[in-house]
Each structure stands twice: as C-alpha cells, then as structure tokens.
Amino acid sequence: MTTPPMSGRKAQAARNDELILQAARAVFTADPGAPIAAVAERAGVGISALYRRYPSKEDLLRKLCLDGLHLYIAVSEKALDDQGDPWEAFAGYMRGIVDADSSSLTIKLAGTFQPTPELGAAAVRASELATRIHARAVEAGVLRPDVTTADIALLFEQMASVKLGDDERTGQLRHRYLALLLDALRRPASHAALPGPAPEDAELSARWVP
C-alpha cells in the first residue's frame, strides 16, 4: 500500500488528522448542531485529540467550511475545462456539486461563526466560477435564460435538503430529483414563465452574517 509506516506516535497522529476531519465532515453534515463529543466518538478518538488540533469548535467548523468551498471550487474548475457538449458539461457540473455535498455544510454552518478573510475570498472565487459556468450554458442556448445564477444556488440547497435513509440512498434520491430538475432547466423545451423575481445576491449573502 501507499500508506506510510503505520507505527510510531507521529504516524498515528497524522492518521488521526485525517480521521478527525472525515468524522467531523460526516457528523456535521448529518447534524450541524452536533456536539464535539459525537465527532470524537465517530473518529474513534478522545476529545483531547480534537482540542490538540483545533483551539475551539468554531475553528473546526471554519476548517470544514473552507474545505467544502475548496471542493466546490475544484468541481467548478473541472466543469469549466469541459469543452464537450455544452449541456452535458453543465449537467455534469450540477451532478458534481450535488455529489460534493458542500452546500449543506457551507450554508447551514454560515452564520455560526465569524468568517475569516480567507473564507470570504474562497466564497468570492466560488461565486465567480458559478457565474461563468451559468453564463456559458445560457450563451450556448442549452439553459433556459430566465433562471439566474442565484436560482441555481438555491436549487443546490433544495437538493441538499433531501435526506432519507443512509448516505448512499440519499445520494441516489438527490440524483433522482436533480434529473427532474435538469429536465425543467434544459433548453430547447416548452416552458412557462417563472413567477416572481429571481433572488438577489444581497438576499443570499445576508445569511452569512449572524
């Protein structure tokens, strides 16, 4: 295996680094209000192993949120590189974001801690990429133009709200409803005009402040 020598206190600690992050991601994704103890238990470590790495719960949450944004950004960049069929590129992007499942964490945790500059910068970058992907799909004529970038963000949140059974089942269902959604988004097709104005950026960003 590619695993480094697994004995030694240092190696153990390095493995715990990853173990703790994975556990924290899983636990807080399932329940954003979960206690620290739940993370420790899931990771199979003591509470002190957590506090050795992060000064407080809030710091751990920030780390998780930042990781989520970076994953979001990575998926978006990959989608922008896709020079194939415009619709498939856009649909693949949406499937990728839904699989990344960073919306749940990023959105639900927003407002529970002070955003750092680094976090703000990542959010801006993510937003830029989303805008470009959206614009490209509209310009290619494959995406109905009365749906805005902000709409897409809210639609991601709706997909993230689907939760039923275990993680695998949940993912399966999210893709089921994403397929339904993509049917409605695709152009050309017969569409009714959407009622009400699209969300403003200000409305979305308002949730980032406690």
Partner DNA sequence: CTGGAACGGAAAGCTACGTTCCGCTATAGT
Partner DNA sequence: ACTATAGCGGAACGTAGCTTTCCGTTCCAG
Residue 181 binds which entry of DNA, its own copies, none, CB below 5-8 Å type-dependent: its own copies
Q: Please state, in angstroms and rounded to a whole number, the distance separating the CA atoms of residues 31 and 26.
A: 9
Q: Binding segment for DNA among 53-61, 66-74, 123-131, 168-176 (CB under 7 A)?
A: 53-61
**Shortest gap between Cβ of 155 and DNA (angstroms)?**
30
Residue 13 binds which entry of its own copies, DNA, none, CB below 5-8 Å type-dependent: DNA
C-alpha distances out from residue 166 to 7, 94, 97, 103, Å: 33, 22, 19, 18
**Shortest gap between Cβ of 1 and DNA (angstroms)?**
19
The answer to whether the Cα torsion of 127, 131, 134, 140 is positive or negative is negative
Return all residues near 115 (Cβ < 8 A) that are at least 6 apart. 123, 208
Residue 62 is encoded by which pair of tokens?
Answer: 């920030």
Interaction between residue 1 and its own copies (CB under 8 A): no
Return all residues near 67 (Cβ < 8 A) that are at least 6 apart. 21, 25
Nearer to DNA, 7 or 190 (CB): 7
Residues 132-191 that bind its own copies (CB under 8 A): 147, 151, 154-155, 157-159, 161-162, 164-165, 169, 172-173, 175-177, 179-185, 189-191
Q: Which of 1, 2, 3, 48 binds DNA (CB under 7 A)?
A: 48
The answer to whether the Cα torsion of 17, 19, 24, 29 is positive or negative is positive
Residues that bind its own copies (CB under 8 A): 147, 151, 154-155, 157-159, 161-162, 164-165, 169, 172-173, 175-177, 179-185, 189-192, 194-199, 203-204, 206-207
Residues that bind DNA (CB under 7 A): 7-10, 12-13, 16, 35-37, 44-49, 51-53, 56-58
